[in-house]
Structure 1
Amino acid sequence: MTPVLELNSASFAYRGQTAPVVEDISFAVEPGHSLALVGESGAGKTTLLRLLLGLARATSGTVRFDGDELKPRDREQMRRFRRSVQCVFQDPYSSLDPRRRVGSIVSAPLRSLGIDSRSTAGPKVTDALERVGLPADAAERYPHEFSGGQRQRIAIARATVCDPRVLLADEPVSALDVTTRVKVVDLLHELKQKQGLTLVMVSHDLSVVASLCERTAVLERGRIVEQGETGQVLGAPAHPYTRRLVESVPRLPA
């Protein structure tokens, strides 16, 4: 099966800097499967998401989409890519424009990709909101009228309204309280199961990783030090750095 997204020996360094942020990264994500990127802050996880989104170009190596090298200057390829790959960002407060109504926010991908106009996007917006557990009348309200968990549901509705094949999620629940976090994780799991979404997720929360992702890649200082089935990586880590990550998870006393 051809991977939907793939990095082949990809490295990235900012202009004027010799030390790469990420170096010699290789992994592949097959359609309908899920991958977690874990590691400490500064390990390069968000940079990898930027490479996968086409927001940054690899200094060396390649990023592939459906087997073809991703070329940001290829307008036709990027049009297909943008319709197929969407992202949910970390902060549900800063990722939604407070000046726009929720319906306008959620319909933005439909309009920007030429799928629907403002006048015809209504039914898909309603479906997307209902799919994430929000009433249709939420479309007429503003982001500040919602809680943090509800805002993240709006962000997920926006990311899934055009029925993408791949969802990239950058710490999608880290800004939420524990109860709301569980609800959003359940929602992502449901969308993954019902829509066959491919999921690539950055997370510090190993319990979220264990519940959502089949495979895990562990990053340390811009390099993958271990990757494989999530149960194996987190249950019997082979690399000392992975073991330290697992051991750092707080546990309730017996």
Structure 2
Amino acid sequence: MTPPVLELRNAGLRYRGGAADVVRDVSLTVGTGRSLALVGESGAGKTTLLRLLLGLARPTAGSVRFDGDELSLRDRAQLRRFRRSVQCVFQDPYSSLDPRRRIGAIVAEPLRSLGIDGRAGAVPKVAAALERVGLPADAADRYPHEFSGGQRQRIAIARATVCDPRVLLADEPVSALDVTTRVKVVDLLAELKQERGLTLVMVSHDLSVVASLCERTAVLEGGRVVEQGDTGQVLGAPAHPYTRRLIDSVPRLPS
């Protein structure tokens, strides 16, 4: 049986000097080619879980596993495979791109930092990545301030996918965008997932985005998972009172 590509087993994290765990006793599995949403109020622990899954923080309890093996930040060979396989799109398209660098250099950064390609070899891959997200190849010669917010998020997605990762972790990838642009970026993520077989883990406050993109949903409250399962079941017939409160709090147009 193929192990999940990413897994948390009874994971917990308490920051140094902290009086309480930020997250505790969290178990999640992310199967290859599947999608998982992490939802909950601000401070529930969603971004902390994403940091654990990215290897940016070590759990103080339990473990993070990659392809069935515990993720060790001291195992350079494993960490290299992990960094190539798992990439992230951050929340703010304005601050996640270096304003002093041209787009081509920004998108090519994973290729260089992971030792996949040098400058010459990166050029066609950068052009292909930009085309894949709906931007012309000449965008590579321009700077971030020349693009709109939605275009910048497309650039961030191109950077995250240029090295053909297996897993994309997205932290509120559309929350900083206007409604029309948000729909376009959600459609783009759905296309990439379908066409490239990407595994997607997404933090989001927007339950409509979750419903359209993710097959499974985990609901966090106070650093713990209170409910998880098929998205249609979790959002359509929630079992936990906290999940019901989250759904009830979604603004609706008057009938």
TM-score by length of 2: 0.99
**Residue aligned with 2:121, SS:** coil
**Residue aligned with 2:120, SS:** coil
Distance in 1, matches of 2:203 and 2:20, equals 22
Give yes or no for the alignment of 1:171 onto 2:187.
Answer: no
Once the two structures are superposed, residues 149-188 of structure 1 have per-residue CA deviations (whole angstroms, 9 ceiling, x without a partner) of 0000000000000000000000000000000000000000
For 1:182, the equivalent position in structure 2 comes to 183
For 2:193, the equivalent position in structure 1 comes to 192
**Residue aligned with 1:41, SS:** coil
Once the two structures are superposed, residues 94-113 of structure 1 have per-residue CA deviations (whole angstroms, 9 ceiling, x without a partner) of 00000000000000000000
Distance in 1, matches of 2:46 and 2:251, equals 22
For 1:64, the equivalent position in structure 2 comes to 65
One-letter identity of the residue aligned with 1:164: P
Give yes or no for the alignment of 1:141 onto 2:142.
Answer: yes
**Residue aligned with 1:226, SS:** strand
Alpha-carbon RMSD = 0.5
Distance in 1, matches of 2:171 and 2:111, equals 22
**Residue aligned with 2:4, SS:** coil
For 2:205, the equivalent position in structure 1 comes to 204
Distance in 2, matches of 1:225 and 1:120, equals 47
How far is the alpha carbon of 1:17 from its aligned partner? 1.4
Distance in 1, matches of 2:239 and 2:104, equals 47
For 2:230, the equivalent position in structure 1 comes to 229
For 1:24, the equivalent position in structure 2 comes to 25
Give yes or no for the alignment of 1:9 onto 2:10.
Answer: yes
Distance in 1, matches of 2:73 and 2:95, equals 26
For 1:40, the equivalent position in structure 2 comes to 41
Percent identity for Structure 1 against Structure 2:
83
For 1:98, the equivalent position in structure 2 comes to 99
Once the two structures are superposed, residues 185-216 of structure 1 have per-residue CA deviations (whole angstroms, 9 ceiling, x without a partner) of 00000000000000000000000000000000
Work out the number of aligned pairs and report it.
Answer: 254
One-letter identity of the residue aligned with 2:58: R
Distance in 1, matches of 2:47 and 2:204, equals 10
One-letter identity of the residue aligned with 1:139: A
How far is the alpha carbon of 1:53 from its aligned partner? 0.5
Give yes or no for the alignment of 1:239 onto 2:226.
Answer: no
**Residue aligned with 1:120, SS:** helix
How far is the alpha carbon of 1:18 from its aligned partner? 3.1
How far is the alpha carbon of 1:41 from its aligned partner? 0.3
Once the two structures are superposed, residues 117-151 of structure 1 have per-residue CA deviations (whole angstroms, 9 ceiling, x without a partner) of 01210000000000000000000000000000000
Once the two structures are superposed, residues 71-115 of structure 1 have per-residue CA deviations (whole angstroms, 9 ceiling, x without a partner) of 011111000000000000000000000000000000000000000
For 1:75, the equivalent position in structure 2 comes to 76
Distance in 1, matches of 2:58 and 2:126, equals 32
How far is the alpha carbon of 1:250 from its aligned partner? 0.8
After TM superposition, which residue ranges in structure 1, 4 or more long, deviate above 3 angstroms? none
Distance in 2, matches of 1:54 and 1:18, equals 23
Query: Is the deviation greater in 210-219 or in 11-20?
Result: 11-20
One-letter identity of the residue aligned with 1:71: S
Distance in 1, matches of 2:74 and 2:3, equals 23
For 2:161, the equivalent position in structure 1 comes to 160
How far is the alpha carbon of 1:16 from its aligned partner? 1.3
Distance in 2, matches of 1:116 and 1:50, equals 27
**Residue aligned with 2:119, SS:** coil
How far is the alpha carbon of 1:253 from its aligned partner? 1.4
Distance in 1, matches of 2:49 and 2:42, equals 13
Distance in 2, matches of 1:142 and 1:132, equals 17
Query: Is the deviation greater in 12-21 or in 56-65?
Result: 12-21
Distance in 2, matches of 1:208 and 1:17, equals 33
TM-score by length of 1: 0.99
Distance in 2, matches of 1:27 and 1:184, equals 26
